[in-house]
């Protein structure tokens, strides 16, 4: 089929009866507890390779050392990569595209994926753009990644 363009992507509706229970693990629980109770973004530093993981982890993903040193990341960061979605999860066209980004927070050497808030002009988003985490007020936090509403572009 070389040279043939795909004009329509087929989809099949169906259901998969799956139930799951997600556990964040010890490192993730540390991150979500600090986020819920204090509105803080915490990570862990590897004493061997000096990587700072945000959200926090229990073991270094690079050198497998147990991570015990907790560090605080700032809510400010920089976009390392980004993407736009023009189609919703049901295959319908969105009225306005949704932007997501990989953000490296100040104090972290890793990135986290989250949505970008209030992006009306997509040309404003670029690698290197400055952003700031928007954290829900204390009474609305539940100990989930969604306690971070997303990231807002900083001028």
Q: Which phi and psi angles does 80 have, rounded to 5°?
A: -100, -25
Q: Write the Ramachandran bin of 135: left for phi over 0, alpha for psi from -120 to 50, otherwise beta.
A: beta
Q: What is the pLDDT of residue 12?
A: 77
Would you give the DSSP letter of residue 72? Answer: E
Residue 8 has pLDDT above 80, yes or no: no
Domains of the chain and CATH, by start? 25-153 (2.40.50.840)
Q: Which residues have CB under 8 Å from 126's CB, separation 6+?
A: 79, 82
- What pLDDT was estimated at residue 15? 85
| Structure tokens, 110 | 């890793």
Instruction: Quote the CA–CA distance of 131 and 73 in Å, as a whole number.
Output: 13
pLDDT at 3: 55
pLDDT band (50, 70, 90) for residue 4: low
Q: Mind listing the pLDDT tens digit for each residue in 43-71?
A: 999 999 999 999 999 999 999 999 999 99
Q: Kindly state the percentage of the chain with pLDDT values over 70.
A: 94
Statement: residue 20 has pLDDT above 90: no
Give tens-digit pLDDT for 107-153: 999 999 999 999 888 889 999 999 999 999 999 999 999 999 999 99
Check residue 47 and report its DSSP letter: T
* CA pair distance 23, 1, nearest whole angstrom: 44
Quote the pTM value: 0.83
């Amino acid at each position: 089929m070389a040279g043939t363009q795909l004009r329509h992507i087929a989809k099949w509706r169906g259901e998969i009866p799956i139930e799951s229970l997600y556990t964040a693990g010890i490192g993730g629980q540390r991150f979500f507890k600090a986020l819920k109770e204090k509105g803080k973004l915490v990570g862990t530093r590897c004493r061997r390779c000096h990587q700072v993981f945000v959200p926090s982890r229990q073991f270094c993903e690079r050198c497998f050392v147990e991570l015990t040193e907790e560090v605080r990341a700032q809510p400010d960061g920089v976009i390392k990569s980004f993407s736009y979605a023009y189609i919703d999860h049901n295959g319908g066209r969105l009225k306005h595209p949704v932007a997501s980004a990989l953000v490296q927070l100040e104090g972290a050497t890793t990135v986290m994926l989250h949505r970008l808030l209030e992006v009306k002009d997509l040309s404003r988003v670029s690698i290197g753009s400055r952003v700031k985490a928007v954290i829900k007020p204390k009474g609305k936090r539940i100990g989930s990644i969604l306690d971070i509403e997303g990231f807002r572009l900083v001028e």
